[in-house]
Amino acid sequence: MKKLVAILLALLTVVSCIPASVMAADSEIELIGDVQETVPEMRITIDSGYSLDTIHADKEAKIRAHVSVNGAWDSAFNMASTGVEMKTRGNSTFGFMKKPYQIKFDSKTDMFGMGKAKKWVLLANYVDGSFIRNKIVFDIAEEMGMAYVCKSVFVDLYINGDYKGVYQLCEKVEIGDNRVPLESDLGVMVEMESAKRVAEEDFWFTTSVSGKPFVYKEYNTDFEDAPAEEVAAVRSYLEERINNIENELYNNGKDWEYLSSLIDVDSFIQFYFINELTMNVDATLASTYFYIDGPDDVLHMGPLWDYDRSFGSYDYADSGYEQGTEADFLKNITDCSDQYRAEWFKMLFQYPEFVKRVNEMYSETVKAAFDSERINATIDAYENVLYESLMRNYVDEGWAIFHNISEAEFFSDRTSAKRYLDFTVNYIKTNIASRKAYLDRAYGEYMPALFYQQNAGRVYSGGSMTDSQAMSSFWLELDGIIDGSVTYSATGSGMSVTEASDGTPVKGRGVRVLSINLEGNVASYYDILYRGYYNGAWSSWRQNGADVGNTKYNLERIQVRLVEKTAPVEITVSFDVEGVEPVKTIAGNTVVLPALPEGYEGWYVSADLAGEAVTEIVTEADIVIYGKKNAPQEPVVIVPGDITGDGKLNAMDINTVSRIFAGVLSPTDAQLLAGDIDGNGRLDGMDLNRIARMIAGT
């Protein structure tokens, strides 16, 4: 019944103007968060003597303007013309033609019931074709129980009477009574930033272990005006705290009691799961905020910010990730990406206590907040409200719509724009559903903790990779409430080892082929998945005792994880070529396509034989693979007596036959066919005589 309701809701959002609140009641699907019912007009009028060009050219420049709001779903939210200071904002987003802005009221002002504050942000969401990625992430985070999640609403923005597109009016990430209410004079908020951008900042530092830059974003002690000793006091305790955290994270001793006294563990886990669901490329690169309410507080992660490059809007394949269910994103982010990202979560998952709490929280709050049916219904409700505004963005105003960051489309009509919008929204919803399905299998209250060790002495949990060239020794152990063990077999150059996982290191240098299996009761409930890196690439995933590796190359790295068992889904790959039998396999496996019989040039996935020929596929459902026949050759037309092949009988043919008969020339196959009039298989005097008579017409 719920699936049917979801389908009906999706159909309604394409053509209906039913308010979201009515849709939610009729659909029987509870939405996540409160979905606004209209898109109000927000009008900004630049004061005399100021120019919008000024702030478009300089992010630090400020101008004066007046703001009004009309057409809100609650008339109490409409606003008469009010004076503001206005500027542009953003880093990479500042460079796009649709600019993001910040407005600052002269006094604290409540907008749309979100609470009084001076500063408000207008997000352009230019690289998000759906315009709702940031909004839906904020809603999910609030549902999950994260603190100080930014509230926001969508508005149609006009500047000096010109329509500028749909914007997301959002709370600014800052310290304040209605934002992040820190009480200590030494309270501070910092941002984990990219090393490429810190030179633009006034106050920042790099950590002593990883060298990751942190920028001071908000502070109760004003760094610019406060006495130097007050600024030094803030910087001293905060930088010492973060360096102590890193020293412990990178310390092989693993003192959980000490580490958990320095950080708000639950906020770190909430951040982790939000970014596992969204696969946000900016996570631990930039826009990653932390706050601490003085030296007696712990370090908290949040508030969340900047999720327009999430839910598949980034080409993860360039970084070594697989989209969908096969990535453990934050555990491996530095292994698959650039050096500007921090690997804190890779280190956190070395602590059994952290792993235990991760699994507890997924069962307690996260799993319900990640309900893909509710999330997708909420997405549909937003898109229904935004539809007319989005069409104006895409068609009337010519803004670009992105499915991923490398692709831009411009539309001249609403039909093509709507088709692309539907594709983008469905892509987001599919991405959410596949990530949720994987997370449900990989985390939970009864999930055993899986660890393996490498030569550097570090212990990694399931889903993390070993360091490069770190295979000199490894072992596996289970720590859970279910009895069982892990066994493995490793072969390589001059060695072959099969050992139970009893804590005894297995020498693995030169390992080329590895298999890992579960034994005992644990095997009834869980699958063990693993892959290897060799010859410059990761293998596909293997599971439950299957070999990974190649006898020609050493395994340089491995990645191992446990997931709950699911009922196996058998799929059939059929072929449209006579004599080639169907192949049955398990969904998600790689299928190597059989050899084609003579007369065919290649296998193709599409029935119209479009695209490139394939040799293997990974499929999740029954599929037919099509064989393309060799292109037919043009028929060769042989004219008897026409030795030269010019379509005529003349003296040149007699001359050519004479030379062949005399042994001066060697005949081609075509010449032999044309000149062998008597059919004895050779060119001779009889053929020469007959060709002469044919030319003479006798």
651 CB-near residues (< 8 Å, 6+ apart) = 695
Q: How confident is the model at residue 443 (pLDDT cuts 50, 70, 90)?
A: very high
Helix (H, G, I), strand (E, B) or coil at 190: strand
Beta strands in 467-599 (DSSP E): 473-474, 476-479, 485-492, 495-500, 506-507, 511-519, 526-534, 537-538, 542-543, 548-549, 557-564, 570-575, 583-586, 590-592
Q: What confidence tens digit (pLDDT) does each residue in 68-85 have?
A: 999 999 999 999 999 999
Q: What confidence tens digit (pLDDT) does each residue in 218-247 have?
A: 988 888 888 888 889 999 999 999 999 999
Confidence (pLDDT) at 15: 31
CA R_g for the chain? 34
Question: What CATH code would you report for 570-629?
Answer: 2.60.40
Distance CA 80, CA 326 (A): 51
Q: How far is CA 6 from CA 21, 135, 401, 673, in A?
A: 16, 20, 26, 71
Domain locations along the chain: 2-171+371-442, 188-369, 449-564, 570-629, 651-696
Q: How confident is the model at residue 505 (pLDDT cuts 50, 70, 90)?
A: very low
**Which range has the worst mean pLDDT, 339-343, 366-370, 476-480?**
476-480
Report which of residues 418 and 657 the model is more confident about: 418
Distance CA 640, CA 624 (A): 48
The DSSP-derived string for 618-650 is E-SS-EEEEEEEPPPPPPPP--TT-TTSSS--S
Confidence (pLDDT) at 316: 53
Distance CA 174, CA 22 (A): 35
Nearest Cα residue to 309 out of 126, 139, 165, 438: 126
CA geometry: angle 69, 72, 74, nearest 5 deg: 125
CB 58 within 8 A of CB 86: no
Confidence (pLDDT) at 11: 31
535 CB-near residues (< 8 Å, 6+ apart) = 550, 552, 553
CB 206 within 8 A of CB 191: no
CB atoms within 10 A of CB 184: 15
Distance CA 623, CA 614 (A): 14
Confidence (pLDDT) at 324: 41
Q: What confidence tens digit (pLDDT) does each residue in 1-38 have?
A: 333 333 333 333 333 333 333 334 345 788 998 899 99
Distance CA 260, CA 698 (A): 110
CB 157 within 8 A of CB 108: no
Confidence (pLDDT) at 468: 61
